[in-house]
Amino acid sequence: MDHVVLTVTTTGSDGAAVGSTESELLISGKIMAVVLDYHASAPNTTDVNLYMTDTPSYLILDYDNKNADIGLHPRKQACIADGTAVTIDGTYFDAEPYIVHGKLTLAVAGCNALTGAVTAWIFYEE
């Protein structure tokens, strides 16, 4: 399993500072886990988004109003060719990892102005 580390420095006023960073390398594979490490002074209004930068761009992680370090396993609902959702027993959705091929962007909002406001370790399988 490979990983990439992205660190965002935010600028602006307290509680409203923003920032983003993009991976230098193209990432190709399945996103298996994202570990978020918040700066000790990040407020609990901090919003973190991880998305694929290149076209087609889409959101992988939307984690709002948090400031505690955490490991996450973002998943999306599987579907068949016509877009119909795949479920297990008609009740629980069938989750699968996001598949990416492109650069990733980590964006932070609602934070204080901090160097290293949020660092994300993004683990993926090729």
* Sequence ranges of the domains in the chain: 2-125
Q: Which residues of the chain have pLDDT under 70?
A: none
Q: What does the block give as tokens for 41?
A: 């002074």
pLDDT at 76: 93
- Architecture (CATH level 2) of domain 2-125: Sandwich (2.60)
pLDDT (0 to 100) of residue 124: 97
Tell me the residue type at 54.
Answer: D
Question: Do 101 and 125 meet the contact criterion of CB atoms below 8 Å apart?
Answer: no
Predicted local distance difference test score (pLDDT) of residue 116: 98
Whether the Cβ atoms of residue 19 and residue 117 lie closer than 8 Å to each other: yes
The rounded distance, in Å, linking the Cα atoms of 76 and 95 is 5
In this prediction, residue 20 carries a pLDDT of 98
SS3 (DSSP) at 73: coil
Residue 16: the pLDDT is 98
The DSSP secondary structure of 26-54, one letter per residue, reads -EEEEEEEEEEEE-TT--TT-EEEEEE-S
pLDDT at 92: 87
CB atoms within 10 A of CB 122: 24
pLDDT in tens, 48-72: 999 999 878 899 999 999 999 999 9
Task: Tell me if 51 sits within 8 A of 105, measured CB to CB.
Answer: yes
d(CA 74, CA 33): 7
Model pTM greater than 0.95?
no
